[in-house]
Chains A and B, each alone.
Chain A
């Protein structure tokens, strides 16, 4: 265990890096496309953080795509059909996803191990099929040309400008996503190091034992799953906002598996694993784009090699190992 001072210093360096150094570097180098890439990484790592939390209670979650898709559709429908503000639709999308996950979670969280993994995988398919079949989602054509988020002002003071009025709307989206990512991981860190975090870890180790000493396991796992789905829904909603469109194929089984891979790759024992995993996986995939048809072959080969060499995640290399427990 390292000193808390070092942790705070590292966190501060990270915040300055993503909020000041990265935008400056992008402006200086003119690589504006990186805004979008980094925004995606931030959003995907938020969804992956949710998956990580379900790993933390000992459940293999391959169903995050379902909630990301649901969140995207809920936000879109609220904005397009009900004319609600994008900003208001974000928390609503997250909360509705959390509500859905409570409904689904009560029965399926009784399952463990491979059973839960398979059901959650099926859940992703359910979400896709539901998006195709429900009348309000406009089927396979999806919903496109969603308006950009409007301004937020408080007492006449404009806190966030109208995204449509900014010359490059990718920039405010970058800041939005990165700030949310920082808040999300700060909250995760706090959660994991709180009493609830300890209790979650007791679930991961042995549910029966935890239950026998008075831990309310069914409540706790539903809470963890609801938080996880909230994050999934939130990130899906912002994704729909950025791409200004959503389709049933926006989040599929492959995305759900990727969320899981992000967590694994970063390391399941580390709170910040999802950020590292998402970053490496997303950029690795992008870099390999030049290899054309061999992209997937090399990508999966490298993944397998990483698994063989570092089965406990990239962060197990970290000299400052911020082990979660």
Chain B
């Protein structure tokens, strides 16, 4: 059972990193970023190219993935979302745009990186073995890096000037604008950061699970679930949701193993019941 809980913890750290970017973009712009999973996949493939094909150190690959995604995110916000938000009568239009961007990224990923499953050489070999536990070292390193990224992000949001501006924006867009926050600029920075977090998550996870062009959609769905559990637009909620889903998945796969492949079905059903009781998740703000 300890093994199951430990597995849940690493999964949780990785999931939290994925959910964080999604919730950030939602908090700042009220945009549900359908392309989040695709951004994750792009991050994974960039890491694969830099680390496995070019042979540069893993950390360089992770930084490269984060930086490229930040640029992609900034461009997507600048060129696409900003225009549509200004012109559309209804805010739901951003969802169509996000879905179309997800399709576009899917197409680009297929054309550039192909449809094969890609993995990278282990970053650190070796496994910690004791009576009850088997822990591969690379998983520990990845979970620690994920936790460090989350901590770095929280510090950035909490203690820097752009971070403060973004928190103001998330609280009340109009009030922030009236106080002299450059809304356009910080929306772009926020979108770039959200995309960067997706890229980082992909970059880290490629070391464990590998990556292929088809996992973008399922990753987005998982990210949506985590955000729903924790509450949309709340950083703490995303982290809590990530760990809860990681734990549920790990425990569910063990306990429900005997009944076949129904872990996710049970999780979904539980989520529906949970949302009936708490529509805004654990710590979400009410919508509207």
Contacts and interface: CB of A to CB of B under 8 A. Distances in A.
B140 interface: no
Interface in B246-283: 260-262, 264-265, 268-269, 271-273, 275-276, 279-281
Interface in B67-95: 80, 83-84, 87-90, 92-93, 95
Interface string B87-120: 1111011011101110110111011000000000
Q: Give chain A's interface residue range (CB within 8 Å of chain B).
A: 35 or more
A299 interface: yes
Contact of A108 (B32, B34, B108, B272): B272
B89 A303 contact: no
Contact of A257 (B90, B99, B280): B99
Interface stretch (B46-54, B197-205, B224-232): B224-232
Contact of A129 (B217, B224, B268): B268
B221 A115 contact: no
Contacts of A223: none
A301 B217 contact: no
B149 interface: no
A117 interface: yes
Given A294-B111, A297-B104, A300-B107, A129 B287 contact: no
Nearest to B103: A300
Most buried by A among B84, B90, B106, B287: B90
Contacts of A113: 30, 287-288
B100 A304 contact: yes
A293 B112 CA distance: 11
A121 B275 CA distance: 14
B93 A264 contact: yes
Contact of A126 (B34, B89, B269): B269
B108 to A, nearest CB: 7
Q: Is the interface of A mostly helix, strand, loop or mixed?
A: helix
A110 interface: yes
A250 B261 CA distance: 19
Interface stretch (A29-37, A41-49, A151-159, A305-313): A305-313
Contacts of B288: 112-113
Contacts of A265: 96
Contacts of B232: 114-115, 118
Most buried by B among A104, A130, A304: A304
Nearest to B91: A113
B40 interface: no
B15 interface: no
A122 interface: yes
A294 B224 CA distance: 29
Most buried by B among A117, A265, A295: A117
Given A304-B104, A308-B83, A111 B275 contact: yes
Given A300-B100, A303-B100, A304-B101, A114 B111 contact: no
A132 B26 CA distance: 32
B53 to A, nearest CB: 22
Contacts of B110: 293, 296
B101 A60 contact: no
Contacts of B262: 129, 133
Interface in A92-142: 104, 106-108, 110-115, 117-119, 121-122, 125-126, 129-130, 132-133
A225 interface: no
A104 B279 CA distance: 14
A294 B101 CA distance: 15
B195 to A, nearest CB: 17
A228 to B, nearest CB: 16
A260 B96 contact: yes
A268 B95 CA distance: 13
A301 B261 contact: no
B265 A311 contact: no
28 contacts: A60-B95, A107-B276, A112-B288, A115-B284, A117-B95, A121-B221, A121-B224, A122-B228, A122-B268, A126-B265, A129-B264, A130-B265, A133-B260, A261-B99, A265-B96, A293-B110, A293-B111, A294-B111, A296-B103, A297-B104, A300-B100, A300-B104, A300-B106, A300-B107, A303-B100, A304-B104, A307-B100, A308-B80
Closest 4 CB pairs of A and B: A107-B276, A300-B103, A311-B88, A296-B107
Interface of A: 55, 60, 104, 106-108, 110-115, 117-119, 121-122, 125-126, 129-130, 132-133, 253-254, 257, 260-261, 264-265, 268-269, 293-297, 299-301, 303-304, 307-308, 311-312
Given A253-B217, A264-B93, A307-B84, 19 more contacts: A107-B272, A107-B276, A110-B276, A113-B30, A114-B32, A118-B224, A129-B261, A129-B262, A133-B260, A257-B99, A268-B90, A294-B111, A295-B107, A297-B104, A299-B103, A300-B100, A304-B101, A304-B104, A307-B80
